[in-house]
Amino acid sequence: MAILAYIGPLVIVSYILAAKDPFVKFHVKQGLVLFVTWVAIWIITTIVIFFAPIAMLIQLAIAVLSILGIINVINNKEAELPIVGKFSHIFNI
């Protein structure tokens, strides 16, 4: 379930099915930050096409952070992701 938290909208499935597990909840918060960031970038790029090259770099960074999160899950770690990990505390779930 924790791996699903890093695969875009599947974070919702992960939260619904395993909301009581603290390990999964930690990774759901991290995945929510990545997903919300991705959606915000998508909306901004849709409105202002000028930001498309920058948005592609940010989306690549989000993909790399998702892979890093999945590696943390596989290694059974609760390590915050670089840059965005500190924002996971915003989600009080």
Does 69 have pLDDT greater than 90? yes
* Residue extents of the structural domains in the chain: 4-90
Residues 37, 51 contacting (CB under 8 angstroms):
no
Using alpha carbons, select from 37, 59, 55 the residue that is nearest to residue 46.
55
Mean pLDDT of 2-27: 90
Residue 20 has pLDDT above 90, yes or no: no
What's the confidence (pLDDT) of residue 37? 92
Q: Which residues contact 39 (CB under 8 A, 6 or more apart)?
A: none
Q: Average pLDDT for residues 4-32, to the nearest whole number?
A: 90
User: Quick check: 64 pLDDT over 80?
Assistant: yes
Q: Count of CB atoms within 10 A of residue 18's CB?
A: 17
Contact 30, 67 (CB under 8 A): no
Average pLDDT over residues 6-30: 90
pTM of the model: 0.87
